[in-house]
Amino acid sequence: MTKQNMAVSDACSGLNMVVTMAAVSNSTVFTQKPPSAPGGCVSVSVSRKKFLKDPDINGTQWINSWVESMRASSPTHIKSTPLSPTEEDHSSWMVHRPSALEMFDQIMDASRGKQIVMFLDYDGTLSPIVDDPDRAFMSDKMRATVKKLARCFPTAIVSGRCRDKVYSLVKLAELYYAGSHGMDIKGPEEGTKYKKGGRAGILFQPASEYLPMIDEVYKELVEETKTIPGAKVENNRFCASVHFRCVDEKRWSDVAQRVKSVLKQYPKLRLSQGRKVFEIRPEIKWDKGKALEFLLESLGFANCTDAFPVYIGDDRTDEDAFKILRDRGQGSGILVSKFPKDTNASYSLQEPSEVMDFLQQLVDRKRLSYMGRTRLSYF
């Protein structure tokens, strides 16, 4: 076992935690520099070891900073607080993160002569964000669009949810699925033509040894939060999620404190934050960015320049994948957000309906390209 420092950054809330982790001997260790915290947000540096081992050290400071930053970034406050982005701020942000729809031709020019590979988050990207995560259904029109997309390009769903749960929501057998933030990956159940050195039906689970621990933590979190109205705990197999979207803001700090009190008993697990959700995951260096790299390698595009990966996501956890694309100088990251955020993505879309329009344009462009080649073949 070796130890290293790892930075966990929350792009939405401005919460930064510098952690010390024990790297699993059979996993590849990657290092990365976290993106800077958004302007105006509170940035807190906390020792991960002390954070877990001693609940009194910086505990109140951590909770208070987290709650205030969450309130500032919450959509319920954006319309009413002085911290909300102005039209000028939004316009400036759009200059640096322009609409992927408006820049569609530029993206296509960059992908010319390369194999486009699609990576899609689920919640907030293919489906709207809803109060009950069990009711985050994608529309039939979106499902039909993604089905057509998979016929044109190798396509993967990369989600924090349990892989089986995502599959039950998407219901498309021709896709790759990476659940639990990429810790549970499986290839298409139906045959795929995209096998350039790759493997259909692949199965990769780098954190299998943690399954009993996650089950145990899940049960403790359910028990610990059952008296907080609106709190919901989800077992995503390789990680556990505590949703507080329906919790009164006055109880947010209570949720954070209870999650922290449970997690301090499990030094091999780490805490991260998404959109009104706490994520408890194994402390191995594996995330959506590593899942993207693994899938590219499985498809035969590990060290070649003839692939053009496109990753679309809306959450802090998607930043790991955006950063991989940025560092590789390959492909495009597209953030789904109506509000300015600090991000490693190159482009933006405002909501799932725009995602669907973008995907449909990809399909249409592919078909036009195919028709053009077919016509030329007659001469």
The values of phi and psi at residue 323, to 5°, are -65, -40
Q: How far apart are CA 100 and CA 177, in angstroms?
A: 24
DSSP-derived letter for residue 158 is E
d(CA 328, CA 198): 20
> Token pair 């020019």 is at which residue?
109
Residue 121 designated active-site: yes
In whole angstroms, what is the distance from residue 282 CA to residue 206 CA?
10
d(Cα 370, Cα 375) in Å, to the nearest integer?
Answer: 9
Q: Which 3-state string (H, E, C) describes 364-378?
A: HHHHHHHHHHHHHCC
Nearest CA to 70 among 236, 251, 231, 310? 251
Q: Are 13 and 77 in contact (CB under 8 A)?
A: no
* Residue in 10, 121, 320, 342 annotated catalytic: 121
**Contact indicator for 285, 23 with CB cutoff of 8 Å:** yes
Q: For 17, phi and psi rounded to 5 degrees?
A: -125, 125
Q: What angle do CA 257, 263, 268 make, to 5 degrees?
A: 155
3-state secondary structure of 328: helix
Residue 290 neighbours by CB under 8 Å, 6+ apart: 28, 30, 182, 320, 324
- The residues facing 3 across adjacent strands are 22
Structure tokens at 203: 């199965």
Residue 292, Cβ density class (10 Å: 0-12 exposed, 13-18 middle, ≥19 buried): buried
Question: What backbone torsions phi and psi does residue 307 show, to the nearest 5 degrees?
Answer: -115, 150
Tally: H helices and E strands in the chain: 12, 14
Element (H, E) at 319: helix 319-328
Catalytic residues, which ones? 121
